[in-house]
Structure formats: structure tokens, C-alpha cells
Amino acid sequence: MSLRSSVFSALALSLALAGCSGSRPMTPQTGGIMLDTPQSVSPALIHAAPMAKTAILPASVMNVRPQGAIQGAAYTQIPGAASFAAAAPDGSLWVLSNAPAGNDKYIWHYVSGSWTNISGLASQLAVAPNGTLYAINSGGGTYSYSGGTWTGLGGGASAVTTAADGSFYVLSNGNTVGNDQAIWHNVGGTWSQVPGSGVSIAGSFDTGSYTLPNGTVSPGGLYIVNSVGSIYYENTGGTFVQLPANASMLAPTTVGGVFALGYPANANGNSIYYYNLSTPGWSAQSGAGVSISSNAGKLYVIGASGGIYSSPVTNTSGTITEYTIPTVGSLPSAIATGPDGALWFTEAIGTKIGRVTTSGAFTEYTMSTANSNPIDITTGSDGALWFTEQGGNKIGRVTASGVFTEYTIPTANSNPHGITTGPDGALWFTESNTNKIGRVTTSGAFTEYTISTANSIPYGITTGPEGALWFTEYNGNKIGRVTTSGTFTEYPLPTANGGSDRITTGPDGALWFTEYAGNKIGRVTTSGAFTEYPVPTASSSPTGITTGPDGALWFTENNAGEIGRVTTSGAFTEYTIPTAGSGPEGITTGPDGALWFAEGSGNKIGRISP
């Protein structure tokens, strides 16, 4: 099954929510591209209506299960009653309850089976990738909530949604209710009006690009529903693509499609539909709702009676495809996305650098240095692929056409391991034998810095969010940090003999790493505060790690032969690789939005859909 060809086509939502939907079937409708852009006043110039200060309600308030719904096998009813759902990228759920009377409702957060109420009342919610909550109240005030504090961001708004880059959009309330409203975009505190208008908006977190009959849907854009139910996608450049049919509310997924509630809106619930962007077309889903929202893992539906339901988004998520490398026993170790849109990987025993397209076509380039044992690989600032040669004691470079250059590391027998492109455009690498962090410019000039802890055995390395280099110390049991000028800081792991291996910058601005010996996924902030999450499978030997397109961390389980996924809140999912004893090592996000990994023992390159 391909990644997006049949997503949700059989969601098994045998969920007959209370009340029949009055929505029309999702048949193609005609309509011109939306060009109307109403004149509007910046929200920054309008005083935000005050956010209500309400007493914190006990969790017992949400210990109800409104009836009137028949649950299907794939659906779970969540305790509580709500009128609006906002799924968060970290897997949690924010809702507006159905109390008190009026347009503004209590705000609740559902995490790991527990509800928490926060002070305030709102009429709409949205959640950013970093967990910041945005709210609109019926007076038109736009607010953000973080760390227990509400911050007013402007007034005159009627709807809000967040974008994958952390920015957010609002609809104004300058026109009469029910008419199309102007769209405003807030980036880093600066407001700007964007083309178009509508009555409902939903930001896209999908990293894929899709060609529809009348245009291309590119990453980072905005879905818009206008006052007659027409559906548009606005790309970041201001171009529009119209989707066929009509809707009253949208819930975009991260895997090539969007859920919709039928049109016109019906207080008794609207039918649910799914539009597949890869193979354009609508499919009806059983069930009905008054509000829908989705994240990478779940679809949430609020029924007409206030019941809250979730269904896993799993029809293609976790599907693994494997491609056998032409050279037998090549021992693929690391993998990276190249500038040419292919995946590039190291063959430690084959003494080659491999390349595989997203359709599985291989090319292999043999290195001139015998027994060089290439280990790690990354794309350099010059557009070439750079890699470490463990046996050759060199840093190698190969162009997209297969032309090699090699640079000998000044310190003999350094055993270079991890490599990454630094914030200064140079390549930074670890020397596991000689206890150093090395730097080489794209012209081959070296600098080496000695780590304070003796015999620390540095392995993985990555560029941190604050512009320093972060690395693992397998034997030193620490996470190290070095500035581009060579100043070191080291942070001891909480777990003794954790064996930190690979490291990456997470979507939350922290550093995430694997503990090979400790069987944990670790997280450390840039100030050195640790959190550790035990991997569910015992003795799994987590190795490679990367940030996925769904805002979670994906990692390889070398000993267990599994691919793991963990949210930033610590919720795990594991997927078994079909090839027994595959020994997965490196992993990266591919240009197609899937996760690609190297099977060291299986001699294959694997692909898993997020």
C-alpha cells in the first residue's frame, strides 16, 4: 500500500452520532477562484476584548459521556462533553466544553487520559507546533496561552488557526456574521493581510506537495471555506487552488488529505468526508459531527450531543517498504536526504556511497580509499554530500554526480564517526578514538577541539537551535555542547551508563538523543535540563533519531528490528520491520514526507510512512 493512495479510505467510522446530517453529498461544484480581498483593519489596531477570568473547574466536570451515539470498532469515546475540538501536534486535545450558556465556553486540555481546565472562555481554539494555545473570544479578542498566562494579540477576529511554521492566521469580524471575512497573518508579532476571504480557516501541517487538476497544493499553506461553502487552498505565495464540492469545516491531515464536514452547517451534525490529495477525489466516511480536528495520529469528532470521539489515523501510517541494496553485505549505516531529492547512504563494508530514489532505484559510487568504512553522512552547505571515513581517517565529499574528494584528518587514528553541517557552513564531526570534535571547511581546512572529559567516545553530532554544536559522549555518559569558537559545556546523563548514541534537534527546540545501552530516548534543553523516556521494547538498543514531518521523533531500534516513534510528550508507537534481524541504524526524513532508514544487517534501505 502506497503512502497516500488509500489514506482513510476505510476508516471504519461506524459512528452514528445523534441526529442525522443535513449536509449535501460531496459532489463536484463549480465556482471561480477566490480573488475577493475585503478591505480590513489590522487586528493590532483593535483593542482585544478581555479574556474572561474564570475559576478553575475540577476534572470531575468532564466525567460525563453524552449518549445518542453508536460507537464503531475503530472509534473511542472520550469522557467529557464539548462543542469544539482542537487537536494538538503533540497528540493531546484541547476542547471547548458546552458550558456555560452563550458563545464563549470553558477551555479544557486532555492529556494521557486526564482533563485539566484553564481559566478563560473562548469561542475557537488552535494549537501551534510548540504547544502554544491560541484562542478567539466572542468579542473578537485574539489571545495566546503559554506557561499559564494569556497574552492579548489583537482584536476584531472571528476565527483562528495555526501554521506549521509557528505563525497563525485569523479571520476578521469586520463584515456581518455569515459573510466572508478578511484574512490576517501574524508572523513573529507582525500582522499582515493576505489575499482572500472566508468564514472558516485551517492551517496545513503537511510537508507534501500535490498536483490537482487546477493547481498545486504546496506545503505551509492555508485551507479556506467561504460563505457558500467553497473550499480553497491558499499557497504561501498567494496563489489559490480550489477543491471540488462544498464544506462547512475542515480538518487537514499530515499525510495527503483533508477531512470535511458537509455543507451547510447543521446543528444536528454534518456528514464526514475525506479528500485524497494524491489521487484527487472525495470519499464518504460514516458518522456525523458538529466539529472535527486532526493531528498526525488521530481524528477527533464532536457529536451533536457533545460526545467526544477519536479514531486513529492509521490506514497507511506505519507501512514499511524495503529496497535491497545491489551490493551484498554492504552494511548501510547512515542515511541523509540529498539536494537532488534522493536518499544518500553510507556502505561501511561495501566501501561505497549509495543513492536511492524515492521509487527505489539505486546507484552506487565506489570510493578510491580501500577499507575506508564510511559511517555517517550529511548534506553540506556546498550542495555536496559529506561523510566520515572510519577506516580511512578522512572526511569525504561526493557530488551528486559521484565525484569524490577526500581530506585526511590531522590527528591519526581519530576514528571519525558523526558529521553534520554547522551554522558556520563548515562540517563538524566527532573523533571517537581521540576524544575530539573536528571542523573542516568546504575547502578542506581543519580545526580540532579536545573534549574535557577523557575517553568520552563522542558519536553523534547535530547543530542546536541556538547555533552551537551538540554531541553525544557514549563512554562519558554525557551530552556535550561546543560553540563554533571551541568552548565546551558538558551535561551528565541522569541514567548511569546510558550510552548516548545519535542526537537531533527536536521540533520543541530541545535536543533529543538515543540511549543505546539505557534503552531510552532522552531530551535535554539548551540549558541542560533532562527528561528520559524508556522505550517500550526491552533491550531494543535505540540508535538513529530524527524529527519527523509529523512533529514527533522517529528512531531506529537496532536490536529489536523496529522503528520507533515518540511524541514530545513521551507517547510511543513501535513498528516491526518485515526483515528479521534487520539491524536498523540511521534514519532521516525523506523528500516525500516519509521516514527512510538504513538496515545494517538486512542490507536494505527501508521506508516508513508517518
Which pLDDT tens digit goes with each residue over 478-491?
999 999 999 999 99
Q: What's the pLDDT score for residue 278?
A: 75
Q: Which of 101-105, 197-201, 223-227, 282-286 has the lowest mean pLDDT?
A: 282-286
The answer, yes or no, to whether residue 313 has pLDDT greater than 70, is: no
pLDDT at 605 over 70: yes
Residue 284 banded pLDDT, cuts 50, 70, 90: confident
Q: What is the amino acid identity at position 482?
A: V
Q: Does position 567 have pLDDT exceeding 50, yes or no?
A: yes
Q: Using only the alpha carbons of the chain, give its radius of gyration.
A: 25
How many whole angstroms separate alpha carbon 424 and alpha carbon 467? 9
Bridge partners of residue 556, in order along the sequence: 563
The DSSP bridge partners found for residue 215 are 212
CB-based burial, 517-532: b 16+ in 10 Å, e otherwise: bbbbbbbbebeeebbb
Angle of CA points 44, 48, 54, to nearest 5°? 150
- Burial (CB < 10 A; 0-12, 13-18, 19+), residue 357, is middle
Confidence of residue 282 (pLDDT cuts 50, 70, 90): confident
User: ∠446-449-454 over CA atoms, to 5°?
Assistant: 140
Which positions ≥6 away from 34 have C-beta within 8 Å?
196, 197, 198, 224, 226, 230, 232, 240, 242
CB-based contact 436:414 (threshold 8 Å): yes
User: What is the per-residue pLDDT for 475?
Assistant: 97
Interval 120-169: pLDDT, tens: 999 999 999 888 999 999 999 999 998 899 999 999 999 999 998 899 99
Tell me what pLDDT residue 316 has.
53
Burial of 314 (0-12, 13-18, 19+ CB in 10 A): middle
Residue 273 C-alpha from the chain's centroid: 24
d(CA 299, CA 289): 12
Percent of the residues in the chain that have a pLDDT greater than 70, as a whole number: 92
What separation in angstroms does the CA of 394 have from each of 181, 288, 344, 371? Answer: 60, 61, 18, 12
Using left for φ > 0, alpha for ψ between -120 and 50, and beta otherwise, residue 475 falls in alpha
CB 434 within 8 A of CB 458: no
Convert 29-43 into a string of H (helix), E (strand) and C (coil): CCCCCCCCCCCCCCH
**Range 416-422 average pLDDT:** 98
pLDDT (tens digit per residue) in 6-25 = 222 223 333 333 333 445 55
Q: CA 58 to CA 395: how far, in whole Å? A: 59
pTM: 0.56
Q: Are 590 and 607 in contact (CB under 8 A)?
A: yes
320 vs 316: CA distance, rounded Å? 9
Instruction: Evaluate if residue 68 carries a pLDDT over 80.
Output: no
Q: What is the mean pLDDT of residues 88-108?
A: 94
pLDDT score of 35 more than 80: no
pLDDT bracket for residue 592 (50, 70, 90): confident
Residue 566 has pLDDT above 60, yes or no: yes
Query: What is the rounded average pLDDT for all residues in the chain?
Result: 90
Inform me whether the pLDDT recorded for 66 exceeds 90.
Answer: no
Q: Which pLDDT tens digit goes with each residue over 515-557? A: 999 999 999 999 999 999 999 999 999 999 999 887 889 999 9
Closest to 451 in 3D by CA, of 466, 441, 437:
437
For range 565-586, the mean pLDDT: 93
Q: Which of 146-160, 161-175, 308-322, 337-351 has the lowest mean pLDDT?
A: 308-322
Name the one residue in this structure whose C-alpha cell is 482513510: 8
Report CA torsion sign: 566, 529, 519, 600.
positive
Task: Name the helix (H) or strand (E) containing 400.
Answer: none
Residue 474 near residue 462, CB atoms below 8 Å: no
Rounded-to-10 torsion of CA 405, 406, 410, 416: 130
Burial of 147 (0-12, 13-18, 19+ CB in 10 A): exposed
The single residue listed with the C-alpha cell 499525510 is 255
Q: Are 446 and 433 in contact (CB under 8 A)?
A: no
Q: What cell numbers appear for 494 in the block?
A: 541522569
Length of the chain: 610
Rounded-to-10 torsion of CA 248, 80, 299, 140: 40
pLDDT score recorded for residue 288: 85
Greater model confidence, 8 or 390: 390
Q: Look at residue 18 in the predicted model and tell me its pLDDT.
A: 34
pLDDT exceeds 60 at position 3: no
User: DSSP 3-state assignment of 470?
Assistant: strand
Averaged pLDDT, 299-304:
92
pLDDT digits (tens, 9 = 90+) for 107-122: 999 998 899 999 999 9
Bridge partners, 438 (sequence order): 429, 448
Q: How far is CA 386 from CA 55, 96, 340, 355, 426, in A?
A: 57, 50, 14, 13, 11
